[in-house]
Amino acid sequence: MTISTKPEPTERPFIPLGIAVLTVSDTRTLADDRSGDVLVSRLTEAGHTLAARAIIGDDATDIARQVQVWSLDETVDVIITTGGTGFTGRDVTPEAIEPLFDKRMDGFSAVFHRISYDKIGTSTIQSRATAGLSNSTFIFVLPGSPGACKDAWDGILGQQLDYRHQPCNFVEIMPRLDEHLKR
């Protein structure tokens, strides 16, 4: 019999986050916002709090303004947008949000496209999903389809926004996101 001197790992507690959901669409309302509904359902089922929800038309100034307001709100830890990531003339969400980033998260797009490729093949290249940090708030910019929202939450966000996920996750680094400002 071997006796281990290592202590057993203890279960980390779940830490609920405040998550805001922004749907970017000229045609959706709360009554038919299936992508927003998917995200709200997933985040609340996981134990997080819906900090805010809005639908804004495909206007870069309006999108940036809403994301900026939420990124400065202390009750919002994460912002997830859905819609406006394609190539049509009205798809301006990345252009609206990326200038707000203090830091880009290139790995998010790479992993999102890897997951998406397994489901929809080369059609994944028609999305400009992106992510980054603004004012110490995580921002994820997703396509407007319910399937893409499910893929992003189930394949990436559900794990990375859960403090219990090992070997690392976004929640454990949140207290240090603004350490450069504390000098």
> pLDDT tier at 180 (50, 70, 90 boundaries)?
confident
The hierarchical CATH code for the domain 18-174 is: 3.40.980.10
Task: Express each pLDDT in 55-79 by its tens digit.
Answer: 999 999 999 999 999 999 999 999 9
Percent of the chain with pLDDT over 90: 90
DSSP, collapsed to helix, strand or coil, labels residue 41 as helix
DSSP state of 90: T
Distance CA 86, CA 83 (A): 8
Residue 10: predicted pLDDT: 63
> pLDDT tier at 11 (50, 70, 90 boundaries)?
confident
Stretch 136-140: mean pLDDT, rounded? 98
For the beta carbon of residue 11, count every other beta carbon within 10 angstroms.
7
If one compares 38 and 8, the residue with the highest pLDDT of the two is: 38
Helices (H), the chain: 34-46, 60-71, 93-97, 106-120, 146-152, 158-160, 170-173
Assess whether pLDDT exceeds 90 at residue 145.
yes
Residue pair 76/134 in contact by the 8 Å Cβ criterion: no
> pLDDT tier at 179 (50, 70, 90 boundaries)?
confident
Locate the domains of the chain by residue range.
18-174
Question: What is the model's pTM?
Answer: 0.93
Token output for 172: 């454990």
> pLDDT tier at 115 (50, 70, 90 boundaries)?
very high
Task: Express each pLDDT in 24-55 by its tens digit.
Answer: 999 999 999 999 999 999 999 999 999 999 99
Stretch 140-149: mean pLDDT, rounded? 97
- H or E element in which residue 56 lies: strand 49-56
